[in-house]
Amino acid sequence: MPIATVNPANGETLKTYEAMGEEELERRLQLAEATFRTYRTTAFAERARLLNRAADLLDEDAPEIARVMTTEMGKPVKQARAEAAKCAKAMRWYAERAEGLLADEEPAESDVTDSGGSRALVRYRPLGPVLAVMPWNFPLWQVVRFAAPALMAGNVGLLKHASNVPQTALYLEDLFHRAGFPEGCFQTLLIGSGAVDDILRDDRVKAATLTGSEPAGRAVAATSGQMIKKTVLELGGSDPFVVMPSADVDRAAEVAVTARVQNNGQSCIAAKRFIVHTDVYDRFAERFAEGMRALKVGDPLEEDTEVGPLASESGREDLEELVDDARRGGATVLCGGERPQGPGWYYPPTVLAGVTREMRIHREEAFGPVATLYRAGDLDEAVLLANDSPFGLSSNVWTRDEAEVDRFVRDLEAGGVFVNGMTASHPAFPFGGVKRSGYGRELSGHGIREFCNITTVWHGA
């Protein structure tokens, strides 16, 4: 895949870049290793000052970088500006809290005495250069939610971004440079995916994090496993959105539209499978389809656009194949389902009812504005349907019955359960999944400790 900006609204190639050669890549790896030796000893206050400066610069740059993101991957520009603001917020959150999150921990005095020691503590120390393999769908946020905690922990970052968002990738390196971080603290590697394996095998790279597809995750995990290196993987998702009879059905249907089409439907944590109790199914289906049908699809640079194009032509083709397979299997198309005429990689908001286990869309992630509807006879069936997926990233449940809430929280196989609201990420809450959605956590204290050497320090009596 070429490293290039191709506007998904019209298919026009705007900029192309040459991949870095071996000599330049080697220079950057050397720089990352050398920078880590000194950066790891900087005080938390200095790291926080630099990260707060990066947040201030990002706020200033938000209108410009939002347009870049929209041009590169097609998200509505209003959502792109919100993404930039969210990144600045996360930077400030970690700048303020990292020192406390990584403070030395002291075991109970009785345990220290029992161990035969006089004093003991647990200290969090940085690992070194961390490779981040990141996707295009949230081209700022996916990187910042790794970079902010990693830099505050004293690590340095190497970014291999998706090949269709090179301008955003280069902007990130420049942002941290302008903020005053030492050269080598954060570097963008303009390379193809074929170069990742060699970098993972390099002893100077101590760990890796990947957000992306299941095949990409398998490849990174396999190589990292051979090299005995820590990894965090955030892979696909096919999140359930369960609606029970006690819920505010109209509100649930309204939120369901946003939950499905956020970022043009290209989000791992977007709700994709809508599992509705039979008592309220017809009402929900009608409201949901109405809401999806009413969305404005168009130029993502227009302020009132709600759904822009998919990021790539191949992505649209993959989505069409899933819809066509479901249609052939007997699914009913309540709205959408047909490619529009004209330039750009657009696909309409689509709702499929009557989906069965035999259909591909039941098992595979639909990365675009396509929702599947299921009817559940009771709570037990709702839980079974929700868990009948190879993925387990997050989940949404709508009910006013606390006993039902307790059951869903206990039994849903997911990294998150959001009650009477849609899944969202926030710096304070751990983010990640189970099953084929990956392992490890980003964000919160759990995220900043993922790439730390958790060190026991013990003193004899």
Counting every residue, how long is the chain? 461
- From the list 185, 268, 335, 452, the catalytic residue is 268
- φ/ψ (deg, to 5) at 117: -105, 170
Rounded to a whole number of angstroms, the CA Rg of the chain reads 23
3-state secondary structure at position 209: strand
Cα separation of 20 and 17, whole Å?
9
Cα separation of 298 and 316, whole Å?
15
- From the list 33, 234, 306, 365, the catalytic residue is 234
Cα separation of 18 and 21, whole Å?
9
Question: Cβ(98)–Cβ(44) under 8 Å?
Answer: yes
Told to judge if 452 belongs to the known catalytic residues of this protein, a careful annotator would answer: no
Cα separation of 377 and 281, whole Å?
10
Q: Which two tokens stand for residue 84?
A: 């930039």
Told to judge if 268 belongs to the known catalytic residues of this protein, a careful annotator would answer: yes
Terminal alpha carbon distance of the chain? 61
**Burial, 414: exposed, middle or buried (Cβ in 10 Å; 0-12, 13-18, 19+)?**
buried
Q: Which contiguous run of DSSP H or E holds residue 355? A: none
Active site residues: 234, 268
